[in-house]
Amino acid sequence: MKKSFAFLILISFICLSRGSSYAAISPTPSINQQLLDEIASKTAQLNLVEKKGITGTVTDASDTQITLTDINGNTRFIDVDELTKFSSPSSNSFGISDITKGETLGVLGLYNKQSRRILAREVDEITPFPKVIYGAISSVDKTNFEITVVKESGQKIVAEVENITNTYSYSTGITSKSGFSKIIPPVTVIAIGSPDKQDPNKIIALRIILFPDIQINQNINLSAQNSPSIIPSTGSGKKLTPIVH
């Protein structure tokens, strides 16, 4: 009988010890709530941020921020920090101080849906998309090797002709090689080229296609007085002389 009683006391003591141990390691309600709040906060932050990539033209740049205009005309604010990586096909030391107004950048980073800002992780300098200009040639500058194209909207674009410029003429269903000396205004034209960094109304022509048989659009006013500012420069400081055919 004494042995049975002693055995029951021992079992009770073991159960009480285990119970107190479980109680010691079980989290209190306040700790549970704090943990849930932290998880909810982290989840909310993750839901606000997503990876995003954009391409745009620089309108402003500082040591910590880049402002771009994307292909849809929207203004984008890009934040940079010590983790942001910069790259350029033309330089191994390209950085935030090398970014200038008018150049085209590709940005990959973390987009915050609330602030609508992107924390850049990669910033790459890229070749800008060629511009396609359709209109009529109103004048030819034989000194600076430039032509002025008037668009239907009335905007005037200067196309700078270089050694790399290929000029063609499309007439009676046949495309033939032409040249700068054979351009006689007014004539319908399509000019394709790279935007000039210093002048939004100017391109460096890669290809010029003349259409002498196509009547000039009646909505194009060749006598308009508002002419763009002409800067006879390629942006590199060197003026090239085109091949005259």
Q: Kindly report the CATH number assigned to the domain that includes residue 153.
A: 2.40.50.140
Res 29: pLDDT: 59
Res 45: pLDDT: 59
Give the Cα separation of 2 and 165 in Å (integer). Answer: 112
Token pair 């940079």 is at which residue?
80
Identify whether residues 113 and 147 lie together within a single domain. Answer: no
Give the Cα separation of 8 and 169 in Å (integer). Answer: 110
Res 91: pLDDT: 84
- Residue where one domain finishes, among candidates 75, 98, 125: 125
Query: How many other C-beta atoms lie within 10 A of the C-beta of residue 228?
Result: 14
Identify whether residues 156 and 119 lie together within a single domain. Answer: no
- Residue where one domain finishes, among candidates 82, 103, 125: 125
Res 28: pLDDT: 56
Instruction: Provide the domain count of the chain.
Output: 2
Q: Are 165 and 207 in contact (CB under 8 A)?
A: yes
In a domain, 30, yes or no: no
* pTM for this predicted structure: 0.51
- Backbone phi, psi, residue 98, to 5°: -90, -10
In a domain, 20, yes or no: no
Give the Cα separation of 132 and 229 in Å (integer). Answer: 19
Helix (H, G, I), strand (E, B) or coil at 136: strand
In a domain, 93, yes or no: yes
Strand (E) positions, the chain? 49-61, 65-70, 75-79, 85-87, 104-112, 117-125, 131-141, 146-150, 156-160, 166-171, 174-177, 187-195, 202-211
Query: Over its length of 245 residues, how does the chain's per-residue pLDDT go in tens digits?
Result: 545 545 444 445 445 455 444 444 455 556 676 766 666 666 555 567 899 999 998 999 999 999 999 878 899 999 999 999 999 887 889 999 999 888 889 999 999 988 899 999 999 998 777 889 999 999 999 999 999 999 999 999 999 999 989 999 999 889 999 999 999 999 999 999 988 877 889 999 999 999 999 999 989 998 765 444 444 444 444 445 454 44
In a domain, 3, yes or no: no
Res 235: pLDDT: 46
Domain range spanning residue 106? 49-125
Res 236: pLDDT: 45
Q: Are 89 and 102 in contact (CB under 8 A)?
A: no
Identify whether residues 116 and 154 lie together within a single domain. Answer: no
In a domain, 205, yes or no: yes
